[in-house]
Structure 1
Amino acid sequence: MASLHGDLSHLLPLTYKQTITAWLEEDCPSFDYGGFVVGEAEGEAKLLGKSKGIVAGVPFFNEVFSQLGCTVEWNVKEGDPVETITTCAVVRGPMRKILLGERVALNILARCSGIATKTNALLTILRSHSWNGILAGTRKTTPGFRLVEKYGILVGGADPHRHDLSSMTMLKDNHIWACHNKSQSTTPTTIAAAIPAAIAAARAAAGFSTKIEVECRSVEEAHAAIAAGADIIMLDNFSAADVAGAAKLLKDEWTAKGKARGTFLIEVSGGLNEGNAAQFAAEDVDILSTSSIHQGVGIVDFSLKVALR
């Protein structure tokens, strides 16, 4: 995957600002008792990185304090590695507002940075094995927090994969059987035989501009999906020993039939993590997708400390 250059905040939809507003309202739905003690005097607080990791989530952190009338001056750039202890930024503004945004901003930054750090660690492992394919996340994200998690994956150097059900058509076994049952036909009797009708229905609805991916549990199903025009073949829960042979076989056989290499992509998914992903990084595998880089991932620890006068 080519490196993504430029300011990633330019990717964000305007709706992320509304989300930040909602999170601030959730954290202080009525009286701010601690803020009453502090008052509106101007002050500053240092953002300290307390554990090693990669900084991610800067636009969200900035927006929290922007909405509260504060400014943030960064000493590090997004995507930079930080050591313990690093002064990453200084927040300035009314003390009550700094402390009002503190926990929301830190929670976002810690989680997003944790995802970027985990993503980069797995990507580094794969590159060390001379695999130049695409590492991708999945749609197993936290409701309400998906944009931040996908953003963290991007900062970490991987592909976020589809953002939602509208981003791409992914046909799993349930979709294929449900499509077959809807037709009330007595045939076919296998997933492989039912795949063409499901792909045809998806293509009719999604049109030429939307990619279609099919989850395949066997080489037979993969052949059926390729023949029916799928753009991406997901080899799901194949063993490491079987992946390389299956991917090569599919690429070789369809190239021999006149289908140019690269016409379809092969994705491998199912239980991949730092301990085993390199075993699946075969030459003919284009994409490795895993939720291990964003689901249940630890944080990078940050704190905000008020500067003493």
Structure 2
Amino acid sequence: MRLQAFSWPTDGDVAPRLSSPVRSTDLRGRQPRYNPLVRLSLPGLALLLPPATLAALADSWLREDCPGPNHAALVTGAAPSQAVLWAKSPGVLAGRPFFDAIFAQVNCQVSWFLPEGTKLVPVARVAEVRGPAHCLLLGERVALNTLARCSGVASAAAAAVEAARAAGWTGHVAGTRKTTPGFRLAEKYGLLVGGAAAHRYDLGGLVMVKDNHVVAAGGVEKAVRGARQVADFALKVEVECGSLQEAVEAAEAGADLVLLDNFKPEELHPTAAALKARFPGVGVEASGGITLDNLPQFCGPHIDVISLGMLTQAAPALDFSLKLFAEGTSPVYRAYRS
């Protein structure tokens, strides 16, 4: 999987368009009021994360790593210490709020040298952490794991968005609900930092009628009508479909979006075109079997969203390390054997 070849505009800028971009419309068939080509303000993304939730997650992760006595603390003691965070692999820096929350739980302070969303070129000095030695080392591995995972997702998301924009497509590249238990907030946040859409956060964010729901309900129409009753005006209804017939049935029953799952590109585009011809206000999402390499094949004028489970399931973690240094000296990165 290639994650190195990506770039994007600065906050508020619009990504360059090709001469004949493949444009998508909003879910009512109009040009979207929000533009997928305009990146969200990266500093503002941290405001999405409730402080109480961040603290609870950090506490849970730390308790998992150290539920009982920390014997190594007797070795290090509580002397004031400092360490530098080094980035050792290329990618997108993401997860600063989680890193901060973890070290806040163990009474350490973090000073950042690079902003969220930075394209990292190794070896890069990213941050400095200060606090009692035993506390700093207690938070080290948990903080590194979280930052590495979140940054890996952001890097994969950035590469996917870059591939879509290079194909001239202006729709939404999105993640899925295929996330790591206990890490969903960090992974969804990483998607946003990378420039992708997070998709629904949980089961309450969108009524998605999957194939198993259809079977359990006794058909597409029954499933959609049942979903519409509980969704009322507040939620959209999306239906997974395996054929044009199912997609038409879902649209006729009141679906807002249709998920064309596991379609080959040569099947996807004529199906989406036929559906849009009859129901221009219904959104079309493509998913299933999509990778960074074949993503451009799924980009088309009748596709509004392309979702990739691999952005969270298969994104490799970035490599970070935290190295202590003596007060009054200049920290220098040294490669140690792992």
SS at match of 2:116: coil
Counterpart Cα distance in 2 of 1:205 and 1:250: 25
Is the contact between residue 54 and residue 101 of structure 2 (CA under 8 Å) also seen in structure 1? no
Q: Which residue identity does 1:49 align to in structure 2? A: A
Q: Does 2:114 correspond to 1:76?
A: yes
Q: Deviations over 1:190-238 (max 9, x none)?
A: xxxx222211111112211111000010011111111111011111111
5+ residue gaps, structure 2, are: 1-35, 328-338
State the match for 1:4 in structure 2. Answer: 40
More displaced stretch, 166-175 vs 4-13: 4-13
Is the contact between residue 50 and residue 85 of structure 1 (CA under 8 Å) also seen in structure 2? yes
Q: Which residue identity does 2:113 align to in structure 1? A: N
Q: Deviations over 1:37-62 (max 9, x none)?
A: 11111121000001111100100000
Q: Does 2:253 correspond to 1:228?
A: yes
State the match for 1:215 in structure 2. Answer: 240
State the match for 2:315 in structure 1. Answer: 297
Q: Which residue identity does 2:206 align to in structure 1? A: M
Is the contact between residue 111 and residue 299 of structure 1 (CA under 8 Å) also seen in structure 2? yes
TM-aligned CA deviation for residue 296 of structure 1? 2.6
State the match for 2:215 in structure 1. Answer: 177
Q: Deviations over 1:101-159 (max 9, x none)?
A: 00000000001000100110111011001001000111111111111111111111101
State the match for 2:278 in structure 1. Answer: 253
Is the contact between residue 90 and residue 122 of structure 2 (CA under 8 Å) also seen in structure 1? yes
State the match for 1:144 in structure 2. Answer: 182
Counterpart Cα distance in 2 of 1:172 and 1:32: 46
State the match for 2:294 in structure 1. Answer: 276
Structure-to-structure mapping, 1:1-309, within 5 angstroms: 1=36, 2-5=38-41, 6-13=43-50, 14-180=52-218, 194-254=219-279, 261=280, 263-309=281-327
Counterpart Cα distance in 2 of 1:266 and 1:26: 41
SS at match of 1:250: helix
Is the contact between residue 243 and residue 282 of structure 1 (CA under 8 Å) also seen in structure 2? no
**Higher share of residues assigned helix:** 1
TM-aligned CA deviation for residue 308 of structure 1? 2.6
Counterpart Cα distance in 2 of 1:134 and 1:218: 22
State the match for 1:185 in structure 2. Answer: none
Q: Which residue identity does 2:40 align to in structure 1? A: L
SS at match of 2:137: helix
Counterpart Cα distance in 2 of 1:296 and 1:238: 21
TM-aligned CA deviation for residue 4 of structure 1? 1.3
SS at match of 2:271: helix
5+ residue gaps, structure 1, are: 181-193, 255-260
Question: What RMSD over aligned residues (CA atoms) do the two structures have, in Å?
Answer: 1.1
Counterpart Cα distance in 1 of 2:216 and 2:149: 37
SS at match of 2:311: coil
SS at match of 2:312: coil
